[in-house]
Amino acid sequence: MARQFDVPVFYRSPIIATVKDARRITDPRKRDLTPSVLDFGPVRFKIGRHFGFCYGVENAIDIAYRALEEHPEKAAAGRIFLLSEMIHNPHVNEDLQARGIRFLRTTTGEQLIPFDALKPDDVVVIPAFGTTREIEADLRERGLEPHTYNTTCPFVEKVWKKSAQIGKQAYTVVVHGKRYHEETRATFSHAQAHAPVVVVRDMEATEALAKVICGEEDAAFFFEHFADRYSPGFDPARDLQRIGVVNQTTMLASETAAIAERLRQAMLRCFPDDPVADHFADTSDTLCYATKENQDATIALIEDGADLALVVGGYNSSNTSHLVDLCEEAIPTYFISGADRLISPDEIHHFVWRTKTETETHGWLPQDLNRPIDILLTAGASCPDALLDEVVQHILAWFPAVRSVDEALAPFQAVDPA
């Protein structure tokens, strides 16, 4: 039986939860990616088969709120700390702060509270992205045990274990990720304890690495193109003979697979007389299933068609930005943090993830279509379902004659649990 997490009730939702529960009953093996449709008459919401809180996020929330519950006196005194944002969602992090948790660092690593201010009886919570071995050692030297409330996602830890495994077999670890994202910083630290490490951000960087592997470019080219992205003492001539690819779990799974295949092909071409396993480790089992499910469900949403897409999540959420990227290729897409960004039927404030700026767009909601408006609605893995409920209710208020929520949910409520 799947593990059940204690997620605070205010993160749950009467609308989205009903849809998700019905889909779990009718499609327990998660094979049907057909969108769910909430039909309110003049507006219809197409909901992805998979979105919102994943296993790792629910695990993290369960642990963080348990720390608050078990140490109310420390929370009141401001002596419960998170190394940084637990997950990349402002609503969750703001609620934790309101309950007494303080952040030691920003998501990019700037110190907010000096570690010297910590006391041995303080509580320090590790975020879902994990942390570096160096920070763990620092905390232990101060008399703190970082694993007491460790919310590191099990799938991130799986990447670390695979990195250690292939490192012990003399493979170099190639990390597909954003070098200074919290998770990649943590994975880099754990991997380099067992192997040389290099980070590739995208296919362009992968092509550059393939040229070095095959001797088409030299060490100087490597050090120039991969500055700050390789472990100390990295020797391209030695350390690119045997490699394995792992990823930052929030990256596009399809991109990770493409990068791994490109490097596997490079090994086949550059070492044609050797078995490919002598030079390339199979690490496909490290891909996060939740990230892939959300991305596959979003692709199915796009294929089903809509007039526009609303993607809800934290603006610094990597996995959410990849869902936005997928949608943007097909339909007008708006990345919002919550219902408060829906200013009016004419005006929306939304995030442009490529430039990392919020902008406003007018005329975003189609008018006079002479048919119902179809809105694709999905969310990142760190987004509470309750925020999607608020988006739905906010938009419905703009339409004078819509079906009630009970009417729209009737097809889902009629599902027989047996």
Per-residue pLDDT reduced to its tens digit, 252-264: 888 999 999 999 9
CB atoms within 10 A of CB 299: 17
> Matching CATH topology for 9-54+290-403 and 171-287?
yes
CATH number of this structure's domain 55-150, picked from the four choices 3.40.50.720, 3.40.50.11270, 3.40.50.300, 3.40.600.10: 3.40.50.11270
pTM for the whole thing?
0.89
Q: With a cut of 80, say whether residue 74 has pLDDT above it.
A: yes
What does the pLDDT average to over 384-405?
95
Give me the mean pLDDT over the 358-386 stretch: 94
Query: Is 9-54+290-403 a CATH 3.40.1010.20 domain?
Result: yes
Task: Give 301-325 pLDDT, tens digit per residue.
Answer: 999 999 999 999 999 999 999 999 9
Domain boundaries defined on the chain: 9-54+290-403, 55-150, 171-287
DSSP assignments along 279-291, one per residue: TEE--GGGS-HHH
Confidence check: pLDDT of 1 > 60: no
Task: Concatenate the DSSP letters of all residues of 61-116 into one string.
Answer: HHHHHHHHHH-HHHHHHT-EEESS-SSS-HHHHHHHHHTTEEESB-TTS-BSS-GG
Query: Which band of pLDDT confidence, cut at 50, 70 and 90, is reported for residue 290?
Result: confident
339's CB contacts (< 8 A; 6+ apart) are 387, 390, 391, 393, 394
Would you place residue 10 in the very low, low, confident or very high pLDDT band (cuts 50, 70, 90)? confident
Q: Residue 417: pLDDT band by 50, 70, 90 thresholds?
A: low
Report the percent of the chain where pLDDT is more than 70: 98
418 pLDDT band, cuts 50/70/90, is low
**pLDDT reported for residue 187:** 98
Q: What rounded mean pLDDT belongs to the chain? A: 94
pLDDT given at position 404: 96
CB atoms within 10 A of CB 367: 8
What are the backbone angles phi and psi of residue 350, rounded to the nearest 5°? -145, 165
What is the pLDDT averaged over residues 186-207?
98
Averaged pLDDT for residues 143-149: 93
pLDDT surpassing 70 at residue 2: no
Amino acid letter, 55: Y
Q: Looking at residue 356, what is its pLDDT? A: 94
For range 94-123, the mean pLDDT: 95
CATH tag, 171-287: 3.40.1010
Closest CA to 385 of 43, 29, 36, 64: 36
Are 75 and 99 in contact, with CB atoms under 8 Å apart?
A: yes
Is 329 among the catalytic positions?
Answer: no
Q: What is the mean pLDDT of residues 49-68?
A: 92
* Chain mean position to CA 227: 25
Q: Which of 58, 136, 182, 183 is catalytic?
A: 183
